[in-house]
Amino acid sequence: MTAPGLSIAVIGSGPSGLYAVDGLLRKLPGVRVDVIDRLPTPYGLVRGGVAPDHQGTKAIVRQFGRTMGKEGVRFLGNVEVGRDVSVDELKGLYDAVVVALGAYEDRRLGIPGEDLPGVHGSWSFVGWYNGHPDFAGLNPDLSRPGAVVIGNGNVALDVCRILAKTGGELALSDIAPAALAAIQAGAQGDIFLAGRRGPVEAAFTPAELGELGHLSRARPVVDAVVLPEGVGDVDGREKPFKEKNLELLRGFAAGDGDQPRRIHMLFWAAPVAILGTDRVEGVRFERTRLEGGRAVGTGETFDVAAGLVVSAIGYRTAPLDGLPMDGGVVANADGRVAPGVYAVGWAKRGPSGTIPTNRADSLAVVDLMAADLADAAGGKPGGAALDALLAERGARVVSFADWEKIDAAEVAAATDPCPRVKFATVAEMLAATD
Ligand SMILES: Cc1cc2nc3c(=O)[nH]c(=O)nc-3n(C[C@H](O)[C@H](O)[C@H](O)COP(=O)(O)OP(=O)(O)OC[C@H]3O[C@@H](n4cnc5c(N)ncnc54)[C@H](O)[C@@H]3O)c2cc1C
Q: In terms of residue numbers, what domain contains 13?
A: 7-104+317-431
Please work out whether the CB of residue 130 comes within 6 Å of at least one atom of ligand 1. Answer: no
Average pLDDT over every residue of 68-97:
97
Angle (nearest 5°) at CA 16 between 315 and 93: 105
Contacts of 211 (CB under 8 A, 6+ apart): 157, 161
pLDDT at position 4 is: 61
DSSP states along 174-226: ---HHHHHHHHH----SEEEE-SS-TTT----HHHHHHGGG-SSEEEE--GGG
- Whether residue 1 is contained in a domain is answered as no
Which of 293, 315, 337 is a domain's end point? 315
pLDDT at position 100 is: 98
Q: Tell me: do 176 and 216 sit in the same domain.
A: yes
Please work out whether the CB of residue 81 comes within 6 Å of at least one atom of ligand 1. Answer: yes
Please work out whether the CB of residue 343 comes within 6 Å of at least one atom of ligand 1. Answer: no
Q: Tell me: do 26 and 133 sit in the same domain.
A: no
Which ligand 1 atom is the nearest neighbour of the CA of 345? 26
- Whether residue 294 is contained in a domain is answered as yes
Q: Tell me: do 234 and 354 sit in the same domain.
A: no
Average pLDDT, rounded, for the chain: 96
The four Cα atoms 364, 365, 367, 368 give a dihedral, to 10 degrees, of: 130
| Encoded amino acid at 8, one letter | I
Please work out whether the CB of residue 85 comes within 6 Å of at least one atom of ligand 1. Answer: no
Average pLDDT over every residue of 88-97:
97
Please work out whether the CB of residue 358 comes within 6 Å of at least one atom of ligand 1. Answer: yes
328: pLDDT confidence band, cut at 50, 70 and 90? Answer: very high
Mutate to test the pocket of ligand 1, among 10, 45, 129, 157 (most ligand atoms within 8 A of CB): 45
Q: What is the pLDDT of residues 367-424, one digit of tens each?
A: 999 999 988 777 899 999 999 999 999 999 999 999 999 999 999 999 999 999 999 9
Ligand 1 center to 126 CA (angstroms):
12
Positive/negative CA dihedral, 104, 109, 115, 118: negative
Of the candidates 153, 178, 154, 180, the one whose C-alpha atom is nearest the C-alpha of residue 167 is: 180
Ligand 1 center to 280 CA (angstroms):
29
* Distance separating alpha carbons of residues 33 and 68, to the nearest angstrom: 10
- Whether residue 263 is contained in a domain is answered as yes
Q: Tell me: do 113 and 219 sit in the same domain.
A: yes
Which of 268, 289, 315 is a domain's end point? 315
- Whether residue 2 is contained in a domain is answered as no
Environment class of 333 (CB within 10 Å of its CB; exposed 0-12, middle 13-18, buried 19+) = exposed
- For residues 207 and 165, the answer to whether their CB atoms sit within 8 Å is no
Mutate to test the pocket of ligand 1, among 64, 101, 313 (most ligand atoms within 8 A of CB): 101
Q: What is the pLDDT of residues 164-222, one digit of tens each?
A: 999 999 999 999 999 999 999 999 899 999 999 999 999 999 999 999 999 999 999 99
- For residues 101 and 317, the answer to whether their CB atoms sit within 8 Å is yes
* Distance separating alpha carbons of residues 17 and 217, to the nearest angstrom: 39
Positive/negative CA dihedral, 336, 338, 342, 345: negative
Q: Tell me: do 97 and 240 sit in the same domain.
A: no
- Whether residue 47 is contained in a domain is answered as yes
9: pLDDT confidence band, cut at 50, 70 and 90? Answer: very high
Average pLDDT over every residue of 252-262:
92
User: Considering all CA atoms of the chain, what is the largest pairwise distance in Å, rounded to the nearest integer?
Assistant: 69
- Whether residue 307 is contained in a domain is answered as yes
- Cα Rg of the chain (Å, integer): 23
CATH number, domain containing residue 25 = 3.40.50.720
Which of 285, 315, 345 is a domain's end point? 315
Q: Tell me: do 176 and 265 sit in the same domain.
A: yes
Ligand 1 center to 258 CA (angstroms):
37
- Whether residue 419 is contained in a domain is answered as yes
Pairing state of beta strands 325-326 and 329-330?
antiparallel
The gap from C-alpha 112 to its chain's centroid, in whole angstroms, comes to 26
Task: Print burial letters for 10-36: b (CB count within 10 Å at least 16), e (below 16).
Answer: bbbbbbbbbbbbbbbbebbeebbbbbb
Q: Tell me: do 328 and 427 sit in the same domain.
A: yes
The gap from C-alpha 212 to its chain's centroid, in whole angstroms, comes to 20
Which ligand 1 atom is the nearest neighbour of the CA of 41? 49
Q: Tell me: do 256 and 132 sit in the same domain.
A: yes
DSSP states along 113-174: TTTSTTEEEHHHHHHHHTT-GGGTT------SS-EEEE-SSHHHHHHHHHHH--TTTTSSS-
* Distance separating alpha carbons of residues 78 and 250, to the nearest angstrom: 48
Q: Tell me: do 308 and 226 sit in the same domain.
A: yes
Q: Tell me: do 47 and 191 sit in the same domain.
A: no
How far from each other are the two terminal CA atoms of the chain, in whole angstroms?
40
Ligand 1 center to 162 CA (angstroms):
19
2: pLDDT confidence band, cut at 50, 70 and 90? Answer: low
pLDDT at position 255 is: 87
Q: What is the pLDDT of residues 223-249, one digit of tens each?
A: 999 999 998 888 878 899 999 999 999
3: pLDDT confidence band, cut at 50, 70 and 90? Answer: low
Q: Tell me: do 35 and 95 sit in the same domain.
A: yes
- Whether residue 42 is contained in a domain is answered as yes
Q: Tell me: do 372 and 311 sit in the same domain.
A: no
CATH number, domain containing residue 222 = 3.50.50.60
The four Cα atoms 162, 168, 169, 173 give a dihedral, to 10 degrees, of: 70
Ligand 1 center to 15 CA (angstroms):
7
- For residues 77 and 398, the answer to whether their CB atoms sit within 8 Å is yes
Please work out whether the CB of residue 49 comes within 6 Å of at least one atom of ligand 1. Answer: yes
The phi and psi torsions of 346 (rounded to 5 degrees) equal -65, -30
Q: What is the pLDDT of residues 341-357, one digit of tens each?
A: 999 999 999 998 899 99
Environment class of 123 (CB within 10 Å of its CB; exposed 0-12, middle 13-18, buried 19+) = buried
Ligand 1 center to 293 CA (angstroms):
30
Q: How many domains does the chain have?
A: 2
Which ligand 1 atom is the nearest neighbour of the CA of 352? 19
- For residues 134 and 426, the answer to whether their CB atoms sit within 8 Å is no
Average pLDDT over every residue of 274-292:
96
* Distance separating alpha carbons of residues 78 and 75, to the nearest angstrom: 10
Q: Whose CA is nearest to atom 21 of ligand 1?
A: 45
Q: Output the pTM of the full model.
A: 0.96
- For residues 197 and 290, the answer to whether their CB atoms sit within 8 Å is yes
Q: What is the pLDDT of residues 10-64, one digit of tens each?
A: 999 999 999 999 999 999 999 999 999 999 999 999 999 999 999 999 999 999 9
Q: Is residue 417 reached through a cis peptide bond, with omega within 30 degrees of 0 on the bond before it?
A: yes
- For residues 172 and 53, the answer to whether their CB atoms sit within 8 Å is yes
